[in-house]
A = this chain, B = another copy of it.
Amino acid sequence: MSQAAYQRVTQRLSRIGALGEAAAVLHWDASTMMPRGGGEARGEQLAALAGLSHELFTAPEMAADLAQATAEGEWQAANLELIRRSHARSAALSTELVEAAARANSACEKVWRDAKARSDFAAVRPYLEEVLRLQRETAQALSAVTGLSAYDALMESYQRGVTAAEIEPIFDAYEVFLREALPRAEEIQAKRGTPIPLTGPFPVGKQRELCRSLSLRIGLEADHSRLDESLHPFCGGTPTDVRITTFYSEADPAKALLGVLHETGHALYERGLPESYARQPVGEAAGMAAHESQSLIVEMQASRSDAFLSFLGPQLQAAYGGDPAAYAVQNLAGLWRHVSRGFIRVDADELTYPAHVILRFRLERAMIEGRLAVADLPGAWAEGLNSLLGITPPDDARGCLQDIHWHDGGFGYFPSYTLGAMAAAQLMKAARAATPGLDAALAQGDMAPLLGWLRKKVHSQGSRLGFQDLLRAATGKPLDPQDFQQHLTARYLVEA
């Protein structure tokens, strides 16, 4: 057993990490800067980086060193454990299976783009069946080396440290909560009347300037970040060079504004990761649910709070002019905290969003466990949505064809969204309790107190802890959906 072997392992991981960073910049570039004609060569570049990373990770010397390596201290131990687990997962999957899955995902995703436009589930069905078959095979193989259930083994790729058995009762309880909460929220909303719409013009140049300055104001550093435009907003780049994107609509400044605040939450997490473990697994974010908790704590918890809206309103009014009453806190709240039963997940509000996720969690788990056939998906979807939200999608485009995830092989990802939303509420409550003046600061557009707490409790922890352990260490308890329900109750279920 040897520390020298540990050092060799981490040196190899640093190199793989640097290739991953290169790929991240190239991905960002492909979505923001690259002329269309560069696409094919970009594919070659990314394939070469992915192939070399895989070869470095699965080289015989790596296995030998991993067997010998010993860690010193808690962080090294966590890092080594993460590397060993990832190595075991890689080793469990044959090159043939990985390549077959990549091919099937790519083929299905391509057909899906068209099929979604025409709402043609039959066209995508055989492709999705093949994707599912290979995902189930992958899940079995991962289950065998991890000791997790098949579904949990897939979910671990996105979020470590939480199981479907823990999620199921939480989601079931939310369904019960929503059954009463949704009609009540709609009733209160109706009583409040229609908010005054913001009237433009909202020139893109001004929106860009405002979004960037807000992003910097709440904690992103100009020297370590960019804000650009892409069709689908994302947070990319690397921890010392985070790159967020948005899409501006001349008609509605809220989309880009709240979107940028959301991506800034992701970006702040990346910026706060422990530098001394850069390019090591333990230095990365703790998973997708953890990541989503950081975007949502900024966007949903902090930015849509009365306190922050009281700061934001006058900023917007100064930038765009128009009726000052439209920028009053309660009016912005009426516009940006509006509840409605819709078919589309990405357009959903905070209260109904979990219903969309619960539906997908149940369906994808049933598919992975062999309890639901792809052929029966549209029917199960319609039934499930109706039971959760009381509405039935008019077609599959607004039903089971709406999301890319399954069609690209992404089974096990969906829970992250709602785990993140719930964790955000739980973290916000703990941050408030520990940080007097947090809301007074928000009312000044100052997120420093909140960010300071998150830096300490979440960002600087890297992925030393899994999801539940991270929450335990930060808030004293594992995921507790009561905090989220309390938040929703205060925001949507109390008459002003």
Contact = CB atoms under 8 A, between A and B. Distances in A.
Given A41-B240, A41-B278, A241-B42, A22 B35 contact: no
A71 interface: no
Given A26-B26, A35-B222, 17 more contacts: A15-B48, A18-B41, A18-B44, A18-B47, A19-B45, A19-B52, A25-B45, A29-B29, A33-B226, A35-B223, A35-B224, A36-B223, A37-B224, A41-B238, A41-B239, A41-B240, A41-B241
A22 to B, nearest CB: 4
Nearest to A15: B48
Nearest to A22: B45
A49 interface: yes
Given A29-B25, A41-B278, A238-B41, A48 B35 contact: no
20 contacts: A15-B48, A15-B52, A18-B47, A18-B48, A19-B52, A21-B44, A22-B48, A22-B49, A25-B26, A33-B33, A35-B222, A35-B223, A35-B225, A35-B226, A38-B224, A38-B237, A38-B240, A38-B241, A41-B241, A42-B241
Interface in A8-42: 14-15, 18-19, 21-22, 25-26, 29, 33-38, 40-42
Interface string A403-443: 00000000000000000000000000000000000000000
Interface of A: 14-15, 18-19, 21-22, 25-26, 29, 33-38, 40-42, 44-45, 47-49, 51-52, 221-226, 237-241, 278-279
Task: State the oligomeric state as a number of copies.
Answer: 2
Contact of A221 (B22, B37, B239): B37
Contact of A21 (B15, B45, B223, B241): B45
Contacts of A34: 241
Contacts of A224: 35, 37-38
Q: Which 4 A-B pairs have the closest CB atoms?
A: A38-B241, A18-B48, A37-B224, A37-B223
A439 B122 CA distance: 60
A404 B131 CA distance: 55
A240 B37 contact: yes
A240 B51 CA distance: 22
Nearest to A41: B240
